[in-house]
Amino acid sequence: MSNWLVINYENMYKEKLGVSKLEKSEKKFLRDFFNIQVDFGGKTIYYHAIYRFKRGYPSFYISWKIKNDFKRSFKDLDAPDNLILMIDEFSKKMYFDTMKAYCKVTEW
């Protein structure tokens, strides 16, 4: 699952910035972020969001929590500046990916 997330977010990042290749620091950060087993890595945010969908939390709270978790983890892990600017897009993508995984819905 983590390889899928890394590739998915790398492609989104390239598409949004119109870049053909990521810098080494950005690529390393994304791979570490979605592969590490720390409290606020990408996998943890993903699984916590799915848990919140299961428990019936309101969707606005889930999207806010995902964005807040991304901000906190990017700040704690010293993310490159280009990635920090894309927190909104990353959190939206994570929200719809988790909704799709749990609810089997692509769009609302």
Q: Which of 39, 20, 29 is nearest to 90 (CA)?
A: 29
Mean pLDDT of all residues belonging to the chain: 82
In the prediction, which pLDDT does 36 show?
Answer: 62
In a domain, 16, yes or no: no
In a domain, 78, yes or no: yes
In a domain, 108, yes or no: no
Contact, 26 vs 82, CB < 8 A? yes
Contact, 50 vs 101, CB < 8 A? yes
Over residues 44-62, the pLDDT tens digits come to 888 899 999 988 899 999 9
The CA distance from 108 to 104, in Å, is: 11
Domains in the chain, number: 1
Tell me which residue range forms the domain holding 80: 2-11+24-103
In a domain, 98, yes or no: yes
In a domain, 39, yes or no: yes
The CA distance from 15 to 98, in Å, is: 21
pTM for this entry = 0.80
User: Does 30 or 1 have the greater pLDDT score?
Assistant: 30
Give the gyration radius of the chain's Cα atoms. Answer: 13
Over residues 54-88, the pLDDT tens digits come to 888 999 999 999 999 999 988 888 888 888 888 89
Q: What is the mean pLDDT of residues 1-7?
A: 65
